[in-house]
Amino acid sequence: MTDLSAQIQQAVQAGKLRESSAKNIALLLGARPHPVAHASVTELVNSGAWSELDDRFYKTLAFGTGGLRGRTIGKIITNAERGTPQALERPEFSCVGTNAMNAFNISRATQGLVAHLRDWMKTSGLPGRPKLVVAHDTRFFSREFAELTARVATENGCDVCLFEGPRSTPQLSFSVREQNAQGGVVITASHNPPHDNGFKVYFGDGAQVVEPHASGIIARVNAITSDAYEPLPADQRGQITILGGDNDEAYMDRLATLVLDPAVIRAASDLRIVFTSIHGTGGTIIQPMLRRLGFAFTTVPEQEEQDSRFPTVQSPNPENAEALSRAIALAQADGADLVIATDPDCDRMGVAVRTRSGKMELFTGNQIGSLMAAYRIGKLSEQGVLTPANAARCVVIKTLVTTDLQKAIAERHGLRCVETLTGFKYIGEKLGKYEAALPENIRASYRTLPEADTRTARLAHSSYYVCGGEESYGYSAADFVRDKDGNGAAVVFAEVAAHAKARGLTLGELLDEVYADYGYYSEKNGSLTFEGAEGAAKIQRLVDSYAAHPPATAEDSPVSGVRNFAREDFVDVEGDPIPKENMLMVDLADGRRFAVRPSGTEPKIKFYLYAKRLPQEGVHFTPEQLAAAKGEVQSSLEALWQWIQADVQTRLSSTSA
């Protein structure tokens, strides 16, 4: 036994290091020793950084339904990882560990994904090699990981289309379809902190993988314990094609079709927009799109720098007021009506709007999505595209934890509102179902048909997707992208803003019209963060506690119903089974409800709170009634959130060892 091994075993025996961590350290160092890996582990052992070693090695980073996500820079950066100084203060080497985003896990993931694609093509009787589209955002190590993915894929017999530089997640989704690829990978951790990165997987329909492919890929990846492999002979390897400007133009041509009424934009020529990509990929497409469509806009210069540190914000998350503070300050100085912000991989979009008093106010994801739905349904009805005769073939899709206001809007106009689990992959799966319902002769050329023709086909033979999204600032309004699309959302919401401007309304006043008509719906989202191995255990204890002992009362209201989506069977409005998920929905007798679920991508447990006040049937709220409803609902949601936080502490105390 080496001195290093002896020290590790002594730490396990002393209770300083988990046994699983010791096993994974031996796995990593024994599989294919790398000088940086050995030096980093040695340095952490010698300094007694057992907690850091546990975080890095207590498990092998599991490949889940969305791929991989984890730290690519450790809480402690070893001297070996720091290496030669790099730009933007980046370590030379990514975080060493089996539970980290690094070359070890990127190689494993790519090997398993390509093996599954090859198996699937063989089973399906499809000729040739599989093709994979690979994109990446602006994060630390993203380009290196994308190039590594391309190399491993080609050496294992897969053709690769690799973007020339950073591109958004929705453009990856579009490009998988446009290139007729069998799969896609985007290297991103969305709006996570700068130290994180991820490996997100798509199938040939452009959507994130769902069953049965999810289980097949997961099994393949998790069975691979080493980053080592034997490359195929040169004549059996794949080829790399670089994607650039031509692909950008093809994507923007489709995005332009999201505008329903160009005259609305022309009528609001004095609309002023401030856009920020928060150091991410959004400016690549959104800026030329806004110019093409005739919108007047300015940007936040320092945030247009593609900087992996996201140095001007605490978090590059467009739902946070702090992330939009510089854009809001610029909007105040310039008198702009609207701020649009996207996260680093541009799948999410947040906005701030000017009020009648002149202040800038943030909208929630629920409010943004509801305005989009109300405008698009109203405009398509006005244009005669949506009619009483075809409304039953039209659909709005939202997640179960997204506001019921969107459901009320859709159903008032005779549209279906389909509710899915959290995750745009389920919305993408529905869009795939609607495409599969088209006649075979239309399906054969569907991806190349003009957007107006695809709409006609869906209205005649299948279901026409009007729009949809998630409360977590993800939206879409077409099926040529099968994921949430910050680029498309910027186009759609800019048209909504033009509509309000042309009518002499602020966006807040336009939203109040919706509330007055359909009722005041409000939501409050909360989350509690528990990091590392100990944090993961706390989250699991809470999940188990809620499942075994759901509350009987909440904030002085009796509980009228509990739905456990992990243990019970549910179907959606179309009769399709809803997959199992660790989510509990609690309905209160006073009309409020809340949902609780662990995050699939962050070390958090999330809570979603809901309340509403409805006008009497057939009448609208008066301004005074709406103001009163807002006050009542907000107070009730805040009281419920305070109760939930206290209840969490009680549950953790009662389940502690």
pLDDT band of residue 600 (cuts 50, 70, 90) is: confident
Domain ranges for the chain, please list them: 59-243, 250-362, 367-516, 519-655
Using CA atoms, how far apart are residues 290 and 287, in angstroms rounded to an integer? 5
Average pLDDT over residues 586-615: 93
Which CATH number does the domain 59-243 belong to among 3.20.20.450, 3.40.120.10, 3.40.50.620, 1.10.510.10?
A: 3.40.120.10
Q: Compute CA distances 533 → 71, 194, 529, whole Å.
A: 13, 20, 12
> Which pLDDT tens digit goes with each residue over 430-484?
999 999 999 999 999 999 999 999 999 999 999 999 999 999 999 999 999 999 9
pLDDT digits (tens, 9 = 90+) for 543-555: 999 999 999 999 9
Q: What pLDDT is attached to residue 32?
A: 65
Architecture of the domain defined by 519-655 = 2-Layer Sandwich (3.30)
pLDDT band of residue 618 (cuts 50, 70, 90) is: confident
User: What is the pLDDT at residue 656?
Assistant: 67
| Other C-beta atoms lying within 10 Å of the C-beta of residue 610 | 24
pLDDT (tens digit per residue) in 61-104: 888 777 899 999 999 999 999 999 899 999 999 999 999 999 99
Q: What is the mean pLDDT of residues 601-622?
A: 92
Count of alpha carbons within 13 angstroms of residue 623, beta-carbon side: 3
Instruction: At 144, list the tokens.
Output: 């290196």
pLDDT surpasses 80 at 601: no
Kindly report, residue by residue over 212-269, the tens digit of the pLDDT.
898 999 899 988 988 889 999 999 999 999 999 999 999 999 999 999 999 999 999 9
Q: What is the pLDDT of residues 534-591, one digit of tens each?
A: 899 999 999 999 999 999 999 989 999 999 999 999 999 999 999 999 999 999 999 9
The two most distant CA atoms of the chain are separated, in Å, by 81
The model's pLDDT over 480-534, given as tens digits with 9 standing for 90+, comes to 999 999 999 999 999 999 999 999 999 999 999 999 999 999 999 999 999 888 8
Residues 250-362, CATH architecture: 3-Layer(aba) Sandwich (3.40)
DSSP secondary structure of 400-441: TTS-THHHHHHHHTT-EEEEE-SSHHHHHHHHHHHHHTS-HH
pLDDT confidence bin for 617, thresholds 50/70/90 = confident
What mean pLDDT do residues 353-377 have?
97
Distances (CA, A) of 130 to 251, 353, 557: 23, 46, 56
Question: Does 107 participate in catalysis according to the annotation?
Answer: no
Percent of the chain at pLDDT exceeding 90: 91
Mean of pLDDT over the chain: 95
Same topology, domains 250-362 and 519-655? Answer is no
For residue 657, pLDDT over 60 is answered with no
Which one from 142, 190, 462, 522 is the annotated catalytic residue? Answer: 190
CB atoms within 10 A of CB 26: 14
Does pTM top 0.85 for this prediction?
Answer: yes
Answer CATH for 367-516 from 3.40.190.10, 3.30.1650.10, 3.40.120.10, 3.30.565.10: 3.40.120.10
Residue 31's pLDDT is 66
Alpha carbons 143 and 136: distance in angstroms, whole number: 6
- Between helix 486-502 and helix 283-293 the angle, nearest 10°, is 30
